[in-house]
Amino acid sequence: MRKPSTSLLFGLLVLPICLWAQPITPEPSADFSIQQQGEAFLFAPILPSQQAIPGAPLPYYDYYWEFGDGAYSFDKSPSHTYTRNGAFEAQLWATGKYDKGKSPKTRPKRNEVNDQASYLASNAPGLPVTPKEKTLQLRAIRNPRPDEELVFILTYANLEEANASGELHLFFNQREYRQPHFSFLQGRTHYGETDGSGPDISFSPARYQSQNLWASVGDRAWFNWMLPALPNQLVQESLNTYSQQKTWRFSNLKRNEKRNLFISLQATPAMLADTNAIITVDALYLGDNGSSSKVTLEMEILASHDPNNIAVSRKKMSFRSIKGKGLTYKVNFQNNGEGPASTIQITTGVPKGMETRGLRVLDMYPACPVCPDAAVASLSCLDTTIKEDKLIFTFRNIYLPGTKQDGVGDRDSTKGFVKYRIEAGRKMKKYPFDSQASIVFDKNPPIVTNHARTHFKPGWSLGAMLGQNVFLDKPGLNSTFAGLTLSPFKPYKPYLQVEIFPATTGRMDFPADGFILHQSTRQATTQLNGRVLDVVVDSLVRANGPGYQEFQTLSAVPLQLRKNLSDWMGIGVGVVASVQTEKFTASSYTIGRRTSFCKIDAAGNCQKGDVFQELSFSREQKTLDRGDLTRWDFSVFADIQLGLVRRGPTLGLRNVLRLTQEPRYYLAGYLSFKI
């Protein structure tokens, strides 16, 4: 018989793996071309085809270019003229909108620039300041998405008379989230900025708390009035909110000059858990002359770059003192039509337990006033309609260009949003909830967004228990107990609870006629007339009254599952582990022993025969005092609670079955309360 060949065996081993292996989707990549026309350079993207999402608008790309000299553009095919000679690294970031695939990556290209004498800058290397420019601006090229690079444009300007020097700070990864959202990749500098280690300050979270997560982007001059001599306290405030920072040192920033610093952060896979959450990044300008400026940039974490989405300020929130706590929602939309939209209606769901009476519209775009009660047909305004389970925001008589409209090159001008806040009601239950939006542009079909979900943090309640153990067949073992409990705060779902009971003391008095301390039967050997015999020995130790038994017990419930059936009734099952130390005291005790012959039966077992030796029971006037007996006990229980079971006070009755000790069964009644 022929042996199978090595190649056949290898094929049989590899075939199942090939059948089960999933196809590997290559990472999408992109390229671009650079052509010189005179002293200008034309940049053109070369991008892969996009994957359309069924039911969504046709996908398209947004573009962001860096030319390697501190300038940038969001045009599809920009033209750029360099103001100095040299080698510059240009790069393209393309973002696929309505695309279920990943955004393609490009590699930087080296661009050699020579003979630009007529365009060489004669003064500052930076860019001129435009009217209404601010000292500090921060912009992201797109919203963050898990496992994707995110670029920030940090623009800083000198609006004062003298040349400026100082530090720039970027703060990221908010402490309120369990996992970091970003890791630092690089900072691309073009004006001699150098990495800085940051100021020498101590971190004290309790000292300075962030004033407002939703602060608007812009200068925060009121800090200069409050803390004129302590600019580092601005850094301290941001460190209370963020766990990471990067610092750059700049110098010789001339009057009316601005510069761009480009920062790349890598979004982590952990960001996926906070999809549709609104997160922030802080930037800080600290001049050596004491001037300062701070901006906070809001962003929405997206699963895909759909410009029509809803986001929420908190993915998780505490349930304690829920009254007065609110959530901020932000609905983003984009007009993808061939013409402008004049009416945009946004309908959002209101989760159960959230109150609409305190609705506040915080911001919007297109910017317009809130409509008055009396309708004015020609007025441009935002109309708000409040219903029991939904909110309706209607932009009336506005102009929002469409992405397919002739002459519209800036896609940002086709985007809008409405941001509002609603508060939680007193009777809200501790269930996760979400909200979804429907967006209608003029009379077009509605666009339905994602769900913005919020969960409650478990929160912990420390409780107290006081009760009585009742042994129905041995009342002398009855004892009181007091203990502590740890469980989630005001749970509405099944939950685990841990309990611990410090040592409790119990006492049982002995009857006057005594009781048996020890009784046993064992097989032994003895000698009789020089012969070795197998015998059976009965032993008995009797304590004589008066006396008592005293014990101390330390108990814990390491595992307990509970469920509140309503606001007034709860049930639970669990396991009790106990260690007990016992002490016996009696006026005297007697010891007796009886020896019987051993009769071997047909099976070879030793059976009692005739008594051949009996030691008479002797009474010793000796006090019995034994306190070195320690025993472990394990029990299971089921109980029921009545009262305000989510926090207390409650009355409970627990049925306990002991697995290792006698008596086997007892009851425990208790009063409990949680904070």
Residue 203: CB atoms within 10 A of its CB come to: 11
Query: How many other C-beta atoms can be found within 10 angstroms of the C-beta atom of residue 279?
Result: 24
Is residue 222's pLDDT more than 60? no
pLDDT at 321 over 60: yes
Burial annotation 214-248 (CB, 10 A radius, 16+ → b, else e)? eeeeebbeebbeebeeebebbbbbbbebbebbbbb
Contact, 621 vs 670, CB < 8 A?
Answer: no
CA–CA dist 669, 648 (Å, integer): 15
Q: In this structure, what token pair is assigned to residue 74?
A: 């969001």
Q: Among residues of the chain, what percentage have pLDDT more than 90?
A: 48
Task: Report the distance separating Cα 464 and Cα 501, nearest Å.
Answer: 10
Q: Which of 203-207, 407-411, 548-552 has the lowest mean pLDDT?
A: 203-207
Query: Which pTM does this prediction carry?
Result: 0.72
What is the tens place of the pLDDT at every residue in 565-591? 999 999 999 999 988 887 777 777 777
Q: Which residue has the higher pLDDT, 586 or 613?
A: 586
Q: What is the pLDDT of residue 27?
A: 65
Residue 331 has pLDDT above 70, yes or no: yes
Between the alpha carbon of residue 603 and those of residues 401, 444, 546, the distances in Å are 102, 95, 46
pLDDT, average across residues 358-373: 91
Q: What are 183's strand-pairing partners?
A: 266
Q: Summarize pLDDT for 287-311 with one digit per residue, the tens.
A: 998 899 999 999 999 988 888 999 9
Q: What is the mean pLDDT of residues 639-654?
A: 93
Phi then psi dihedrals of residue 71, to 5 deg: -100, 160
125-164: pLDDT as tens digits: 578 888 788 999 999 999 999 999 999 999 999 999 899 9
Q: What is the Cα 28 distance to its own chain's centre?
A: 31
Report all structural domains of the chain as residue ranges with CATH numbers, in order of start: 31-300 (2.60.40.1510), 310-454 (2.60.40.740), 460-674 (no CATH)
- Considering only 171-180, 427-436, 505-514, which range has the smallest mean pLDDT? 505-514
> What is d(CA 124, CA 137) in angstroms, rounded to the nearest whole number?
20
User: Picking from 41-45, 193-197, 614-618, which range would have the lowest pLDDT averaged per residue?
Assistant: 614-618
Q: What is the arrangement of strands in the sheet containing 309-312, beginning at the earlier edge strand?
A: 309-312, 326-334, 415-424, 354-365
Distance CA 72, CA 55 (A): 34
The pLDDT assigned to 610 comes to 80
Q: What is the pLDDT of residue 70?
A: 93
pLDDT score recorded for residue 437:
95
- Of 6-15, 54-63, 350-359, 489-498, least confident by mean pLDDT is 6-15
Q: Is the pLDDT of residue 220 over 50?
A: no
Give the pLDDT band of residue 614 (cuts 50, 70, 90): low
Radius of gyration of the chain (CA): 40
The pLDDT of residue 73: 93
Residue 519: CB atoms within 10 Å: 10
User: Does the structure show a pLDDT above 50 at 425?
Assistant: yes
Euclidean distance between CA atoms 471 and 256, whole angstroms: 88
- Mean pLDDT across the chain, nearest whole number? 83
User: Is the distance from CB of 539 to CB of 498 less than 8 angstroms?
Assistant: no
The DSSP-derived string for 443-475 is TSPPEEEEEEEEEE---EEEEEEEEEEE-SS-G
Q: DSSP for 77-134, please give it.
A: S-EE--SS-EEEEEEEEEEEETBSSPPPB---EEEEE---GGG--SS-SSEEPPTT--
DSSP 211-274: S-TTPPSS--THHHHHSTT-THHHHHHHHHHEEEEEEEEEEEE-TTEEEEEEEEEEEPGGGGGG
464 pLDDT more than 90: yes
Confidence check: pLDDT of 624 > 70: no
What pLDDT is stored for residue 245 in this prediction?
94
Asked if residue 257 lies in contact with residue 128, where contact means CB atoms within 8 angstroms, the answer is yes
pLDDT in tens, 440-459: 999 898 999 999 999 988 88
In the sheet where 40-46 sits, what is the strand order? 31-37, 40-46, 79-80
Lowest-confidence segment of 24-38, 128-142, 453-467, 594-608 by average pLDDT: 24-38
473 and 663 Cβ atoms separated by less than 8 Å: yes
Q: Let me know the angle formed at the C-alpha of 515 by 512 and 521, rounded to the nearest 5 degrees.
A: 160
Q: Are 607 and 551 in contact (CB under 8 A)?
A: no
- CA-nearest of 41, 167, 6, 29 to 93 is 29
Predicted pLDDT of residue 515: 76
Of the ranges 7-11, 156-160, 548-552, 599-603, which one carries the lowest mean pLDDT score? 7-11
With a cut of 50, say whether residue 269 has pLDDT above it: yes
Q: Check residue 341 and report its DSSP letter.
A: B
**pLDDT at site 14:** 47
pLDDT band at 436 (very low <50, low <70, confident <90, very high): very high
Residue 456 CB-density burial (10 A; 0-12 exposed, 13-18 middle, 19+ buried): buried
Quote the pLDDT of residue 29: 79
pLDDT at 342: 94
* Distances 329 to 333, 391, 451, 454, 573 between C-alpha atoms, Å: 13, 12, 11, 11, 41
- The lowest-confidence range among 119-123, 221-225, 359-363, 635-639 is 221-225
